[in-house]
Amino acid sequence: MVKENIIIYVSFNKNLNFMGDCDIDAALARIKANIEKRAANKNTLANADPDHELTNNTVTKSHALSRAYYRFGLVEKRCMEALISKLNPLRNDNIQDIELRALDYAKAFGVSEKIAYRDLSSAVDALLNRIIIVNEDNGRIRKMTLTIEAIYEEKAGKVTVAFNPRIVPHLIGLRAKFSSYPLKAAVDFSSSYTWRFYELLVSWAQKKEDTGGVFAGWLTVSVEELRKMLGVPDVYAWSMFENRVLDVVKAELLEKANIQVNITRKKTGRKITHLKIEFIARS
């Protein structure tokens, strides 16, 4: 019988210094802290910290979700982004029950507590039933709902939702093709179109190391594609689309986010088919 000599090579990371359970706990704590820092997501749950401001949270999304096709009204959009901002990026499971309280909503969006109760109640059905269409890199078109369950508790003044596990990977990514923005940057928008347009700009913005730290970028998009991403009704002719959506968006982004947006029309024949969009944050 021939005996084989088996040599096992073990490589240790000197920085982790795994010498015991305490050291392992400390090393894992450092790793988790680094991951959370990379995620640019400081979303301490307001429920766990009464002094925490909801507007200090960060909204993180895949570019695919940022550029998805859907239409939410302003109240629904506010609830959607506030709930997304409270997701924990370090959870290993894809089902997270997230709670949004009327008091936090009222404070974040500058409305009365009475209106906050009404808004949370009215948003529940849309969060459950509205379809979000995502174009994936592999060419597949995926249709999803944002949540799989929503519970409104009037006496407690809160709504608790469970996000669709199929959509959660688009919300807590730590890899390329994801972008983030601070919730406070969007809470003053009075048009859901402005909020959606801002998300699109965030997903197309150039890396700040290439722009000298300035929020800026450019893209060319078909009119039809932009309509779908913003959820503009089909009945809007070009003049309505320009006047009621694009002009409103440009004005509000400049007034409330200090972002200058220039839109140049491009024609195919006599029809406006594409738009060149350039944007930069003004100092």
Question: pLDDT tens-digit profile of 143-199?
Answer: 999 999 999 998 899 999 999 998 988 888 666 789 999 999 999 999 999 999 999
Element (H, E) at 219: strand 216-222
- Whole-number Å distance between alpha carbons of 205 and 201: 6
Among 173, 199, 215, identify where a domain stops: 173
Query: Are 233 and 192 contained in the same domain?
Result: yes
Indicate whether 226 belongs to any domain.
yes
Q: Final residue of a domain: which of 119, 143, 173?
A: 173
Tens of pLDDT, residue by residue over 211-242, are: 999 999 999 999 999 999 999 998 999 999 99
For tokens 């809007």, name the residue. Answer: 236
Using CB atoms within 10 Å of the CB of residue 54, give its burial: 0 to 12 exposed, 13 to 18 middle, 19+ buried: buried
Ordered alpha helix ranges (H), the chain: 21-38, 63-66, 74-84, 102-109, 113-129, 192-204, 208-211, 223-230, 238-240, 247-257
pLDDT tens for 70-115 read 999 999 999 999 999 998 776 666 678 899 999 999 999 999 999 9
Domain boundary among 126, 141, 173: 173
Q: Please, which contacts does 244-248 make with residues 24 or more away whose CB atoms are closer than 8 Å?
A: 245/193, 248/191, 248/193, 248/194
Question: 232 and 277 share a domain?
Answer: yes
Other beta carbons within 10 Å of 188:
13
Tally of structural domains, the chain: 2
Is position 7 within any domain? no
- Mean pLDDT computed over 23-48: 57
Domain containing residue 115:
39-173
Q: Is residue 70 part of a domain?
A: yes
Which CATH number characterizes residue 103's domain?
1.10.10.10
Query: Does one domain contain both 73 and 169?
Result: yes
Residue 242 placed within a domain = yes
CB-based contacts of 63, cutoff 8 Å, min separation 6: 177, 178, 179, 203
Considering the domain architecture, whether residues 232 and 134 belong to the same structural domain is answered as: no
CB-count exposure of residue 181 (10 Å: 0-12, 13-18, 19+): buried
Q: Are residues 145 and 226 in the same domain?
A: no
Closest CA relative to residue 53, chosen from 182, 199, 191: 182
- The vertex-15 CA angle with 11 and 16, nearest 5°, equals 75
Most confident of 2-11, 17-26, 45-54, 164-173: 164-173
- Shared domain check, 122 and 146: yes
43 lies in the same domain as 164:
yes
Is residue 155 included in any domain, yes or no?
yes
Rounded CA separation 5/103 (Å): 68
Within-domain flag for 34: no
* Any domain includes 80: yes
∠ CA 101-106-111, rounded to 5°:
155
Residues 62 and 155 in one domain: yes
Same domain? 74 vs 169 = yes
Does 99 share its domain with 222?
no
- 28 within some domain: no
Q: What is the pLDDT of residue 92?
A: 60
User: Beta partners for 144?
Assistant: 132
Residue 280 has pLDDT above 70, yes or no: yes
148 & 57 share domain: yes
